[in-house]
Structure 1
Amino acid sequence: MDMTEIANSPVRLTAVDSPDQPTPSAALEELYRGFEKELLVPLWTEIGDLMPVHPRSKAVPHLWRWENLVALAGEAGHLVPVGRGGERRAIALANPSLGGRPFATPTLWAAIQYLMPGEDAPEHRHTQHAFRFVVEGEGVWTVVGGDPVPMR
């Protein structure tokens, strides 16, 4: 096995004597060097962190009150332009335990968008999925693949 390829690999594996791991042996260490060379990580060495018995999110439960959100969004509607300066006038929910970042949880981004009557938000694309709900108002649509899709 080419030791240079293994030395350049960010994958580092060590056989450990543990009830939930294979019995350490020279053959197992050789297998692990092959994994390192090919940039592979056997999940049996990671399973405790990948699939804990209970969730270990850094997020804490938090309640954003609608009456406060809509009042602040309405004020933003009068002060912040809906164009690129206001980036579609979207206001992200920031979980208090995630350092002020715009995330409701470590894996979920949530925001409200406030549009005044007659306003159009600049078009944009998503690589991630987006779910949209119209909470108040009517006559709203989005465009998907060039086709208008009404939202109610």
Structure 2
Amino acid sequence: MSLSKLDQLYRQVILDAASHPKHHGELADATQSVTLKNPSCGDLLTLDLDVRDGVIQDIAFSGSGCTISQASASLMTTQVLHQPVDKALADVQIFSDLIIDGDHPQKDQLGDAAILVGVHQFPARIKCATLAWKALYQALTKGENNDDRDQEY
């Protein structure tokens, strides 16, 4: 497959993830909830998690934003659902490094989320791609019954 066809395929996957997001909505019984704003793009994302016994039992996101932020949130929620917290936190670090550096030796551990590596070429869009992952990190590192609303990222 030529590079341009592969690039088109990646773009289509990103557009599809944004247009038909998985795990979009709210959790009634969330144990953690974080809302972040990306003032440079106008993205607003609320991430709800149900974490019990050290595992992400359920996850959902809501809000509005650009295609990249919505696709990233959808891909991230699919990636970390039913994962142990430690594995999800490791994925956050791998994703962040991948988006900033353009490569990471463990990028295959991210599943479909690794497709967002192309954002590396557009520094102004890095915050869009990492917004949901930053919310996940904050939710998982601040303990139970976390309810941080309307933070800027």
TM superposition score category, shorter chain reference: under 0.3
More strand by share: 2
Structure number with higher relative contact order (C-alpha < 8 Å, ≥ 6 residues apart): 2
TM-score by length of 1: 0.21
Write 1 or 2 for the structure with the bigger share of helix: 2
Q: Higher Cα Rg: structure 1 or 2?
A: 1
Taking structure 2 as the reference length, the TM-score comes to 0.21
